[in-house]
Amino acid sequence: MKFKKQIKIIVITLMLSVIIFVLFKTNIITGINLNAIGEFINSYGNYGAFIFIFIFAARTLLVIFPFSVMLIVGGNIFGPAYGFLFSMISIFISSNIAFFISKYLGKESIQKLLKGKGEKLDLKIEEHGFKIIFLMRISCLFPFDILNFALGLTKVRYKDFILGTILGIIPETFSLTYLGDNLKNPFSKNFIISILLVLITVAIPIVFNRIKNKKNSE
């Protein structure tokens, strides 16, 4: 058992070393630089999509910056269609990484990382997992990575977790990817539309939640 544990520690250490090297190369650790990230990914030509997905998933382990940054980068590099596709693939991978790491490391280790935030999840998540996770994702109010780790501590079914995540994150992913594509032309009509889409994506869940709370209070 000790030998297997040592092997796992070595593998994780090597993975983190590669991840940190890549993040330094893109100036992510020293300061978020969208142009630097874009140039680094583009330098790999046809393999740029794989590098993008790798960086997207890698940042999950270190939680250095919001995942929304990568959504904008994806749209800026690949355009709205491919940017959305590659971002959704990345979201699927990074969500699974955080979810299963949380389950593997156990409650005590992850709670220290989350600083108690995982305890605030709805106690009914086992019974209404999909609905609760979908609403959390679509609201844009819960940090993407922290929520992934926190949900790994619950008894939520994996199917509810991944479906709620993928379906709930679509509006935010699309709006930010579209915004990233239009950063090249900040004075264009499409850029204004992309800003409006982001605002609508954030505003609708907030308005809906306030209406729901008002009805419940009555």
- Would you kindly state where each structural domain of the chain is located, as residue ranges? 2-211
pLDDT band for 111, please (50, 70, 90 cuts): low
Share of the chain above pLDDT 70, in %: 68
Average pLDDT of the segment spanning 39-51: 88
pLDDT band for 113, please (50, 70, 90 cuts): low
Average pLDDT of the segment spanning 129-147: 84
Residue 58's pLDDT is: 83
Radius of gyration of the chain (CA): 19
Query: What pTM was computed for the model?
Result: 0.75
pLDDT band for 115, please (50, 70, 90 cuts): low
pLDDT greater at residue 20 or residue 104: 104
- Whether residue 9 is predicted with pLDDT greater than 50 in this model: the reply is no
pLDDT band for 177, please (50, 70, 90 cuts): very high
Residue 106's pLDDT is: 61
For the stretch 176-193, what's the b/e string if a residue is b when 16 or more beta carbons lie within 10 angstroms of its beta carbon?
bbbbbbbeeeeeeeebee
- Whether residue 188 is predicted with pLDDT greater than 50 in this model: the reply is yes
